[in-house]
A and B are shown apart, each in its own frame.
Chain A
């Protein structure tokens, strides 16, 4: 083994440990008995594990409804984002048209100025529109925040489906819409599914807008922030909450690992 390769593997191990260790520790904390979390001296590795920290979190007031609401908001966000971004992505992939660059700039600017700037004025408007403290209201904002990512991935997915196949369907007598529905969409399906899954993560994790735009009907992150800031939630609640929020992320990043670069690899100009 050359010195260079030793250096490469040393760096790889150090970085891998830096990423993995905190994940291991929060998992450990979530399965540590509640009283051990307050114990001193505190053992580095708990002598026994238990489910009561997690059970305490899941039984806390509002956690289940908030979890359910988070899922509802995420599903609605996925539906809205795909309905808006799929046609736009198709247009960006297949047509050269005037205003194309302006549209791309608009979409890119959403990626750069997200939740904080939008939430406060929208909260004021939502009270007027009757959308305040509703699942639909939060989903609408999450859709605005995720549209750039969904459009980017949908555009590249459609660009990856060869246009010849669509043309072949056209010469065989189907209309453009039929060709898209029967030929292009099925081939684009895995990429669209990846976009949907990534949208789920964005919405599941979003804190600021959800906290500002809801009061009684909190999403899970909004509920956790609220109970930490307002009620000073106990440590087991916080650790179990952190772990509970991370688990879907681990699964989802695994599912979409092939598309990670497409989602973010869009340069400013």
Chain B
């Protein structure tokens, strides 16, 4: 990076290898080896380990044969497919608004960044106060004269409402992360690019489509990867709003570990999440990689 390069040029010919940086990074590398690399390997091993010795597909089969497995996989993917595009669209809109520097943009940035500090659990509980039987939504509908009796939204009888509540809570909470990543990316784009486009007669939409978005691609990629992978880890929001009525992959990992006392099947779920995350990262990196001769008419 820029600073390190500057340092190199300041000391052009170093006779021996300087061991200082290695000593400085040893602690963090050792720590991550124990608390990140080791458990990752351990998760894979637990998922296929046969107590009698050797490897076995039994735990993976048990996971796949479980009644909750298919719904958990389906709900996780559906929620991701609904929430992530909404988060990216809304996050982009907020980032562009803040970047446009209207009066009061500082306060707007702070307000829209607030959910960054709010946990998935708290977000779930906040939206529970809206969607529960005696919640604000029912109170509003009753005040407007639409309903006479409270509607039970968060029940399997109304899967659409259950999903809507979860997606609303997730979009509300996690759009802030997307917004901050995209805003940081926007600020790296020199302002003259957009001005030049305007000089050549491009309207705001054309500038956004042909100048800003292509230059924003790395940030969009990061935001998509982080949000999709974190959506696969969805747990507390769902627990707060739906309990186990809406099973998700991370929730099943929890239940298999804490309720059924099977670290092996829980690990099988963890490995499945790991594989999905890896696959999604690969697809985003390939699919959104800048193409050669990128000018894009």
Cβ-defined partner of B233 (8 Å) among A43, A110, A116: A116
Cβ-defined partner of A97 (8 Å) among B22, B45, B136: B22
Contact pattern, B 258-297, Cβ under 8 Å of A = 1, otherwise 0: 1000010011011101100100010001000000000000
Q: How far is the CA of A19 from the CA of B122 in the complex (A)?
A: 14
Q: How far is the CA of A16 from the CA of B94 in the complex (A)?
A: 10
Interface flag for A189 (CB, 8 Å): no
Interface flag for B39 (CB, 8 Å): yes
Cβ-defined partner of B102 (8 Å) among A8, A91, A225: A8
- Identify the closest chain A residue to B240 (Cβ): A228
**B113 to A253, Cβ gap below 8 A?**
yes
Question: Which residues on the B side are within 8 Å of A110 (C-beta)?
Answer: 32, 36
**A246 to B126, Cβ gap below 8 A?**
yes
**A15 to B187, Cβ gap below 8 A?**
no
**B25 to A87, Cβ gap below 8 A?**
yes
User: Which A residues, 74 to 125, have Cβ-Cβ distances below 8 Å to chain B?
Assistant: 83-85, 87-88, 90-97, 99-100, 103, 106-107, 110-125
- Identify the closest chain A residue to B173 (Cβ): A22
Interface flag for B208 (CB, 8 Å): no
User: Which B residues, 236 to 275, have Cβ-Cβ distances below 8 Å to chain A?
Assistant: 236, 239-240, 243-244, 249-250, 253-254, 257-258, 263, 266-267, 269-271, 273-274
**A144 to B113, Cβ gap below 8 A?**
no
Question: Which residues on the A side are within 8 Å of B225 (C-beta)?
Answer: 112, 268
Question: Which residues on the A side are within 8 Å of B185 (C-beta)?
Answer: 265, 267
Interface of B is mostly: helix
**B36 to A144, Cβ gap below 8 A?**
yes
**B142 to A112, Cβ gap below 8 A?**
no
Q: How far is the CA of A116 from the CA of B273 in the complex (A)?
A: 8
User: Which B residues, 160 to 191, have Cβ-Cβ distances below 8 Å to chain A?
Assistant: 172, 177, 180-181, 183-185, 187
Interface flag for B93 (CB, 8 Å): yes
**A87 to B27, Cβ gap below 8 A?**
yes
**A115 to B233, Cβ gap below 8 A?**
yes
- Identify the closest chain B residue to A177 (Cβ): B20
**A40 to B150, Cβ gap below 8 A?**
yes
Question: Contact size class for B?
Answer: 35 or more
Q: How far is the CA of A212 from the CA of B257 in the complex (A)?
A: 8
Q: How far is the CA of A53 from the CA of B47 in the complex (A)?
A: 44
Question: Which residues on the A side are within 8 Å of B3 (C-beta)?
Answer: 93-94, 159, 163
Interface flag for A25 (CB, 8 Å): yes
- Identify the closest chain A residue to B98 (Cβ): A12
User: Which A residues, 155 to 186, have Cβ-Cβ distances below 8 Å to chain B?
Assistant: 159, 163, 176
Contact pattern, B 1-21, Cβ under 8 Å of A = 1, otherwise 0: 111111110100000001011
Q: How far is the CA of A197 from the CA of B130 in the complex (A)?
A: 30
Measured CB to CB, the closest approach of chain B to A42, in angstroms, equals: 4
**B181 to A264, Cβ gap below 8 A?**
yes
Interface flag for B119 (CB, 8 Å): yes
**A120 to B266, Cβ gap below 8 A?**
yes
Contact pattern, B 133-174, Cβ under 8 Å of A = 1, otherwise 0: 010101110110000011000000000000000000000100
Asked, given contacts A95-B21, A212-B258, A228-B239, whether A253 binds B114 with beta carbons under 8 Å apart, the answer is yes
Interface flag for B71 (CB, 8 Å): no
**A11 to B93, Cβ gap below 8 A?**
yes
Interface flag for B222 (CB, 8 Å): yes
Q: How far is the CA of A9 from the CA of B97 in the complex (A)?
A: 9
Q: How far is the CA of A224 from the CA of B229 in the complex (A)?
A: 25
Q: How far is the CA of A5 from the CA of B101 in the complex (A)?
A: 11
Most buried by A among B31, B229, B253, B274: B31
Q: How far is the CA of A225 from the CA of B112 in the complex (A)?
A: 26
Question: Which residues on the A side are within 8 Å of B233 (C-beta)?
Answer: 114-116, 208
Question: Which residues on the A side are within 8 Å of B120 (C-beta)?
Answer: 205, 207
Interface flag for B196 (CB, 8 Å): no
Cβ-defined partner of A211 (8 Å) among B128, B136, B254, B271: B254
Interface flag for A55 (CB, 8 Å): no
Interface flag for A2 (CB, 8 Å): no
- Identify the closest chain B residue to A241 (Cβ): B125
Asked, given contacts A11-B93, A245-B121, A265-B181, whether A257 binds B32 with beta carbons under 8 Å apart, the answer is no
Q: Can you pick out 9 interface pairs between chain A and chain B where the beta carbons lie within 8 Å of each other?
A: A19-B115, A42-B139, A100-B4, A111-B226, A121-B38, A238-B240, A242-B126, A245-B125, A265-B181
Query: Which 6 pairs, one residue from A and one from B, show the smallest C-beta to C-beta distance?
Result: A265-B184, A249-B117, A242-B125, A205-B119, A121-B42, A95-B21
* Given pairs A163-B10, A201-B117, 4 additional interface contacts (CB within 8 A): A42-B139, A42-B142, A117-B270, A124-B263
